[in-house]
Structure 1
Amino acid sequence: MKKIIIIGSGGSGKSTFGRQLHERTGIKVSHLDALFWKPNWVAVPRDEQIEVQRQLMEQPEWILDGNYGGTLGMRLDAADTVIFLDLPRTVCAYRVIKRNLKYRNRTRPDMGEGCIEQFSWQFLKWVWQYPKERRPGVLRQLDEVRHEKNVVILSSKRDVQTFLDQL
């Protein structure tokens, strides 16, 4: 477990899990949200996202947290371990709202500088619809790489804690 990607719905705990994994393994974690958003929520162009990820993945070990479906394939190819935080949508939605209140009018530690936390019905809707709209495609991609990668699916807060405790 040297090249790790963490994926899951918004609010599933990817960034927190990434930091905890770093604390236990010493492997540097990179939060893709912090790399791919410029101030005022201006997205980094896709070609730049690809180049940043290529550079990160050239390192002998890494943890990358974030979805970015358009570049997930390249991360899946390079990773030896895929961790899918597959938590219930109610937990994810609650965490998104809680996070919004906690960091309201400030930038979260795992976000790009100058990206002030704001409530978004559109994002909350995306989180709520994730199990139906995105999850099936993610599971298909994981099934395709399961024979050559260490695929870990964690479906509850208890699963997450047990996994971390066993490291």
Structure 2
Amino acid sequence: MQRIAVLGAGGAGKTVLARRLGHLLDLPVTHLDQLRYDPAWNVVPEETFTAAQRRLVAGDRWIVDGNSLASLDIRAARADTIIVLDPHPLVCLAGVLRRRLKYRGGQHADGVYDCITLDVLRYVLSYRRRHLPRVLACIQEHGSHAELIHLTSRRDANQLINRIRTDPGRGQP
């Protein structure tokens, strides 16, 4: 586990899991939102976004969390591990709302911007049904060489962290 892509709906726990894995495995963590938006929270041009991802994943050690399906092939092709967080949509919705209460609609320390719109809520609630099949197809096409870890609950994510914590060699090449 040296090059890890963490995927899932908004509120699924991608940022928290990526941060915990980064700490345990001593890997640098990048959140796609940090690459997708400029400091004023404007969307950067697609070429800039994909070029930044290509530079990032060219490295030997990284964790990237985020959901851009349009550029997932870049991350999947280089990842040795792909983690898909797939909790029930209501769990994701609760995660989005919890984040709103904690950060009050602003940008938090990890660079992720808390922005809830009706479109965001629709996306979160329809992710499993509408988006996840396309994510899994992209992983199959571009990341079939990687270990795929599909987690369907926060408990699964905690168990993964505990397994890595008790197996010190888990993150070594």
Please confirm whether the aligned pair reaches a TM-score higher than 0.5, indicating the same fold.
yes
Residue matched to 1:125:
122
CA drift of 1:143 comes to 3.6
1:77-116 maps to which residues of 2 (within 5 A)? 77-111=77-111, 115=113
| Aligned residue pair count | 164
The reply on whether 1:16 has 2:16 as its aligned counterpart is yes
CA drift of 1:147 comes to 4.6
CA distance in structure 2 between the aligned counterparts of 1:124 and 1:18, rounded to whole angstroms: 22
Letter in 1 for 2:46: R
CA distance in structure 1 between the aligned counterparts of 2:110 and 2:71, rounded to whole angstroms: 19
CA drift of 1:136 comes to 1.3
Residue matched to 1:61:
61
1:153-164 maps to which residues of 2 (within 5 A)? 153-164=150-161
Answer with 51-60 or 18-27: which moved more: 51-60
Contact 2:12 2:95 in 1 (8 A): yes
Q: Specify the SS of the correspondent of 1:111.
A: coil
Letter in 1 for 2:101: L
CA distance in structure 2 between the aligned counterparts of 1:45 and 1:125, rounded to whole angstroms: 25
CA distance in structure 2 between the aligned counterparts of 1:68 and 1:119, rounded to whole angstroms: 17
| Structure 1 unaligned residues grouped into runs of 5+ | none
The reply on whether 1:71 has 2:45 as its aligned counterpart is no
CA distance in structure 2 between the aligned counterparts of 1:57 and 1:71, rounded to whole angstroms: 12
TM-score, L = length of structure 2: 0.88
Letter in 1 for 2:145: E
Q: 1:103-140: CA deviations, max 9, x gaps?
A: 1143122226xx5x343121011101111110111222
CA distance in structure 2 between the aligned counterparts of 1:61 and 1:131, rounded to whole angstroms: 29
CA distance in structure 2 between the aligned counterparts of 1:156 and 1:165, rounded to whole angstroms: 14
| Structure 2 unaligned residues grouped into runs of 5+ | 165-173
CA distance in structure 1 between the aligned counterparts of 2:124 and 2:131, rounded to whole angstroms: 10
Q: Percent of aligned positions with the same letter in both sequences?
A: 33
TM-score, L = length of structure 1: 0.91
